[in-house]
């Protein structure tokens, strides 16, 4: 319809005012329109208004009718409709869309994960175009500018924009139903049409907020650079910004759609020496190599899980993996493909209809799980640079394009994408069934296991034990006399919850301290009489792990495949003619033990062994989780879940690191006083609220904590702890141990910017670090005495376990829960009782030997508050 215009007369340099040159029609401009025209005129340098200019001005205040591909409801093809696009309001820009890409996220919303309240809508979010008009208050854009609309805003003013830790913005597009409908500028057939991701580029015209738009050079080809609005930037940035791929590293990219190919390109740009491209479509191989892949793997060519294939091909796993398929099974495979000590896995593909899961040990051993949102780019400031990089041939864009089609064929474009005939697609995966292997049984031990062995492995009096074969009979072993040992929740877990049948009979215990009794012929660092702490984490100082600052693991450590014997592997214990297995290479629930030279450290003779033995596991683990793994920053906000010894040690670590708020979380209100001793500033009892604890913490901290620590060993609490972290930069650390259930969360929790990690012995290089921790204790820099609550003798070891699971302390041994049983508490919280013991209250028994009489001393042992 031709627009009839009112003319304007310019009187000198003053404002425009209505004239009478043409008739007044239904499109007569309002006073607000006059104001906007004069604003626009001022932006144009007070140039004279021509008839053409007036046509543009009139259009600025008019509804535009145009074609768009409308999604009326989920799981139905798009239909081409004529829609009405309203004029831009304050701080909005209306643009003509010249070109748009078709992304798998569009397909996902339409056919897989879209909610009913998100329809009807116009999809599309990879567009480029030309500014048609601007709303009041817009100063950075003018009609004629070439631009790329962005689904990630950058207002440059909010806390998220001002942080260098995230690329998110508080003004981002939201999935809130009310907001989506109120902010839409589209109508069709009398109905409001929702704008998808705030962009809706499957329309000839669209309206976007000015903070979600970026200007690009006039010379940029819009039909190419439109792809930088999502997929290419996302994959490329996932490697560069999120994973931070390092020169010489090994990478694996899962799924070779456009996002995956861009990730390959990013790995190559970052200097990776080996890049595995993984896809079930063999035809992708040549294309992947064009973008920088060095190897191509088709999972269908193997009878074993792809993660096992990659582990074998890379001597233990890749350094970085990027999942670009949007499949939760592939996300797990990608994580498990990384090197256990320092591997980083990034979730790039989008899905939000299923949880992603893994075993906690896959994170505890040293892997990091992250997600990438728009590749980590600060959108408004970064996209123009990417456009320039493309124009300077530093990155590829043309090579991603396989088809050029008109808007009317958008459904055909979807079909091409999902059938793999277009670069812009994501592969659907079927992951192999994954099962953890049972730990290997020692050949010499399996012949002696019987039905009563596990029951007889603990709690005997000295006269009943009849230990034999305690001589350090190889070159690098030594035998310390155990003076004191702690009882850790890991001992309880192995005995009652997660220990494999092949691990019995055994002597448990791994938090000990003692005096060297004898050494093997090749031992040079130790001599009889030295005070030592045996270590379940060895440090040979020579393997690829020990020489790498990224991990505290050691290739010669006790492991899940030989947890029950010495590393050679032959046990040094026997009883009544039967081999007795050694737990975690230490077995401190014995008066004497034999350990590897690389799994023991010498400490000061002045150190009290009945105190510093606790540094052999729990205290070091919790304390180091805050200092080494999380790297808590001064002024940050932390939450510690579970206030057993490990949790209290984590609180202590947060305080030492300078956290300004430390929120202690436990179901036992009596824990707050002891938590304050270690540095907690606040206490939260989940039972006091009728909402999830993560929601409580988010409300308390204006969006979430910076760091969270799960010190319970419960997979549900692990999830709660992660989801209590601030989106954009929060880090959740798994400290508590369990391996009988998977931990899970929504992929979006990681894609939104959170990081999930685990800690193994607090990240300490064991042999070199524990003596320093002992000195810190002696210098009163860290607490130890405050963890100890009970004194028991070795013959009461089972009583120590009971104290630990019941949560009894020396000052208040009864009625801790005012008649509420542990089972009731765990049901109230939705926790599994098998995993929650440590979060209720933990204790660890230590026993001491009377050196003069060679007998167990009454009351000379201790029980600590320990998980």
274-316 tens-digit pLDDT: 999 999 999 999 999 999 999 999 999 999 999 999 999 999 9
Instruction: Give strand ranges (E) for 225-299.
Output: 250-254, 274-278, 295-297
pLDDT of residue 565 exceeding 90, the answer is no
- Kind and range of the H or E element at 310? helix 306-313
477, 596 contact by CB (below 8 A): yes
Residues of the chain with pLDDT > 90: what percent?
60
Residue range 791-803: mean pLDDT, rounded: 83
Tokens describing residue 642: 């579970």
Q: What is the pLDDT of residue 417?
A: 83
Residue 734 phi, psi (nearest 5): -90, 115
| Cis status of the peptide bond prior to 569, with omega within 30 of 0 | yes
Cα separation, 705 vs 696, in Å, equals: 11
Euclidean distance between the first and final Cα of the chain, in Å?
76
| Cis status of the peptide bond prior to 505, with omega within 30 of 0 | yes
pLDDT in tens, 35-48: 444 443 344 333 33
Residues of the chain with pLDDT > 70: what percent?
76
**Strand 92-101 and strand 186-188: pairing?**
unpaired
pLDDT of residue 837 exceeding 50, the answer is no
pLDDT of residue 672 exceeding 50, the answer is yes
151, 374 contact by CB (below 8 A): yes
pLDDT in tens, 47-85: 333 334 444 444 456 999 999 999 999 999 999 999 999
pLDDT band at 499 (very low <50, low <70, confident <90, very high): low
Any bridge partners for residue 193, and if so which? 186
- Kind and range of the H or E element at 232? helix 231-237
Cα separation, 460 vs 135, in Å, equals: 83
pLDDT in tens, 198-228: 899 999 999 999 999 999 999 999 999 999 9
pLDDT of residue 255 exceeding 50, the answer is yes
Residue 638 phi, psi (nearest 5): -125, 155
Residue 787 phi, psi (nearest 5): -85, -20
pTM for the whole thing?
A: 0.80
Across 27-31, 74-78, 832-836, the highest mean pLDDT is recorded for 74-78
pLDDT band at 379 (very low <50, low <70, confident <90, very high): very high
Tokens describing residue 609: 């062994």
**In 3D, which of 592, 327, 626, 608 has the Cα closest to residue 467?**
592
Residue range 455-460: mean pLDDT, rounded: 29
483, 609 contact by CB (below 8 A): yes
846, 861 contact by CB (below 8 A): yes
pLDDT band at 847 (very low <50, low <70, confident <90, very high): very low
pLDDT band at 813 (very low <50, low <70, confident <90, very high): very low
Cα separation, 74 vs 469, in Å, equals: 71
How far lies 397's CA from each of 221, 257, 364, in Å?
11, 13, 39
pLDDT of residue 438 exceeding 60, the answer is no
Residue range 620-629: mean pLDDT, rounded: 98
- Which region among 4-13, 92-101, 416-425, 769-778 has the lowest average model confidence (pLDDT)? 4-13
450, 502 contact by CB (below 8 A): no
pLDDT of residue 23 exceeding 70, the answer is no
Cα separation, 600 vs 596, in Å, equals: 7
Domains, the chain, in order of start with CATH, read: 8-58 (no CATH), 63-229 (3.90.180.10), 231-418 (3.40.50.720), 443-614 (3.90.180.10), 618-766 (3.40.50.720)
Cα separation, 162 vs 140, in Å, equals: 19
How far lies 852's CA from each of 464, 465, 704, 849, 856, in Å?
21, 21, 56, 9, 11
Mean confidence (pLDDT) of the chain:
80
pLDDT in tens, 100-115: 999 888 998 898 877 7
Any bridge partners for residue 534, and if so which? 600
pLDDT of residue 471 exceeding 60, the answer is no
**In 3D, which of 276, 372, 377, 267 has the Cα closest to residue 326?**
372
Number of neighbours of residue 717 by Cβ within 10 angstroms? 29
- Kind and range of the H or E element at 674? helix 671-678
Q: Mind spelling out the 3-state secondary structure of 370-414? A: EECCHHHCCHHHHHHHHHHHHHCCCCCCHHHCCCCCCHHHHHHHH
**In 3D, which of 286, 280, 240, 232 has the Cα closest to residue 260?**
232
Residue range 451-458: mean pLDDT, rounded: 26
Between 477 and 287, whose confidence is greater?
Answer: 287
Residue 312 phi, psi (nearest 5): -70, -35
Between 569 and 813, whose confidence is greater?
Answer: 569
């Amino acid at each position: 319809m031709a627009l009839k215009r009112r003319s304007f007369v310019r009187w000198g340099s003053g404002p425009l005012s209505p004239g009478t040159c043409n008739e007044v029609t239904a499109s007569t401009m309002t006073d607000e329109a006059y104001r906007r025209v004069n604003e626009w005129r001022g932006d144009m340098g007070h140039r004279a208004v021509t008839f053409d200019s007036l046509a543009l001005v009139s259009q600025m205040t008019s509804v535009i009718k145009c074609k768009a591909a409308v999604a009326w409801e989920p799981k139905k093809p798009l239909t081409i409709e004529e829609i009405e696009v309203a004029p831009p309001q304050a701080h909005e820009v209306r643009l003509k869309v010249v070109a748009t890409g078709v992304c798998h996220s569009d397909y996902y919303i339409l056919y897989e994960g879209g909610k009913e309240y998100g329809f009807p809508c116009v999809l599309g979010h990879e567009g480029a175009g030309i500014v048609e008009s601007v709303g009041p208050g817009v100063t950075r854009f003018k009609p004629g500018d070439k631009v790329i609309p962005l689904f990630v805003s950058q207002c440059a003013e909010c806390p998220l924009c001002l942080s260098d830790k995230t690329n998110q913005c508080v003004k981002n597009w939201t999935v809130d139903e009310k907001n989506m409908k109120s902010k839409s500028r589209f109508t069709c057939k009398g109905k409001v049409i929702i704008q998808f991701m705030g962009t809706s580029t499957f329309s000839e015209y669209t309206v976007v907020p000015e903070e979600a738009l970026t200007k690009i050079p006039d010379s940029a080809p819009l039909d190419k650079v439109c792809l930088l609005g999502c997929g290419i930037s996302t994959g490329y940035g996932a490697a560069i910004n999120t994973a931070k791929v390092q020169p010489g590293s090994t990478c694996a990219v899962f799924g070779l759609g456009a996002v995956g190919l861009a990730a390959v390109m990013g790995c190559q740009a970052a200097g990776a020496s080996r890049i595995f491209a993984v896809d079930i479509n063999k035809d992708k191989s040549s294309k992947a190599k064009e973008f920088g892949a060095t190897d191509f793997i088709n999972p269908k060519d193997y009878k074993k899980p792809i993660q096992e294939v990659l582990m074998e091909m890379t001597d233990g796993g890749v350094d970085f993996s990027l999942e670009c398929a949007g499949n939760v099974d592939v996300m797990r495979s990608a994580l498990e493909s990384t090197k256990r000590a320092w591997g980083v896995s990034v979730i790039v593909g989008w899905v939000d209809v299923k949880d992603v899961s893994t075993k906690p040990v896959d994170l505890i051993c040293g892997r990091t799980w992250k997600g990438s949102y728009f590749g980590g780019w600060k959108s408004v400031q970064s996209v123009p640079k990417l456009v320039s990089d493309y124009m300077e041939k530093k990155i590829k864009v043309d090579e991603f394009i396989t088809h050029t089609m008109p808007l009317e064929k958008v459904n055909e474009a979807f079909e091409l994408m999902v059938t793999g005939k277009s670069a812009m697609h994501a592969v659907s995966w079927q992951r192999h069934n994954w099962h953890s292997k049972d730990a290997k049984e020692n050949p010499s031990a399996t012949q002696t296991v019987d039905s009563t062995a596990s029951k007889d492995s603990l709690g005997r009096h000295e006269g009943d034990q009849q230990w034999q074969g305690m001589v350090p009979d190889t070159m690098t072993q030594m035998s310390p006399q155990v003076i004191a040992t702690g009882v850790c929740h890991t001992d309880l877990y192995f005995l009652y919850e997660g220990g494999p049948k092949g691990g019995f009979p055994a002597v448990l215990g791994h938090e000990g301290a003692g005096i060297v009794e004898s050494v093997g012929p090749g031992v040079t660092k130790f001599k009889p009489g030295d005070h030592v702490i045996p270590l379940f984490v060895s440090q040979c100082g020579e393997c690829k792990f020990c020489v790498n600052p990224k991990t505290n693991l050691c290739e010669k450590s006790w492991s899940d495949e030989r947890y029950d014997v010495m590393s050679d592997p032959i046990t040094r214990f026997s009883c009544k003619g039967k081999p007795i297995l050694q737990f975690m290479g230490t077995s401190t629930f014995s008066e004497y033990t034999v350990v590897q030279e690389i799994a023991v450290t010498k400490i000061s003779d002045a150190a009290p062994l009945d105190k510093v033995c606790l540094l052999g596991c729990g205290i070091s683990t919790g304390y180091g989780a805050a200092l080494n793994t999380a790297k808590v920053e001064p002024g940050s906000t932390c939450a510690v879940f579970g206030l057993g010894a490990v949790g209290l040690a984590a609180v202590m670590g947060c305080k030492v690191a300078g956290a300004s708020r430390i929120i202690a979380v436990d179901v036992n209100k009596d824990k707050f006083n002891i938590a304050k001793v270690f540095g907690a500033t606040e206490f939260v009892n989940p039972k006091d609220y009728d909402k999830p604890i993560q929601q409580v913490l988010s409300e308390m901290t204006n969006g979430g904590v910076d760091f969270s620590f799960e010190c319970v060993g419960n997979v549900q609490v692990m999830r709660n702890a992660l989801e209590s972290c601030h989106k954009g930069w929060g880090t959740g650390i798994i400290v508590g141990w369990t391996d009988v259930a998977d931990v899970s969360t929504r992929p979006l929790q990681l894609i939104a910017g959170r990081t999930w990690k685990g800690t193994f012995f607090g990240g300490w290089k064991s042999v070199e670090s524990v003596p320093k921790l002992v000195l810190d204790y002696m210098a009163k820099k860290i607490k130890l005495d405050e963890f100890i609550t009970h004194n028991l003798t070795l013959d009461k070891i089972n009583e120590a376990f009971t104290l630990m699971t019941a949560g009894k302390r020396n000052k208040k041994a009864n009625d801790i829960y005012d008649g509420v049983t542990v089972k009731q508490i765990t049901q109230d919280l939705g926790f599994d009782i098998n995993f929650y013991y440590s979060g209720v209250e933990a204790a660890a028994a230590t026993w001491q030997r009377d050196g003069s009489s060679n007998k167990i001393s009454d009351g000379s042992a201790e029980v600590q508050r320990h998980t």
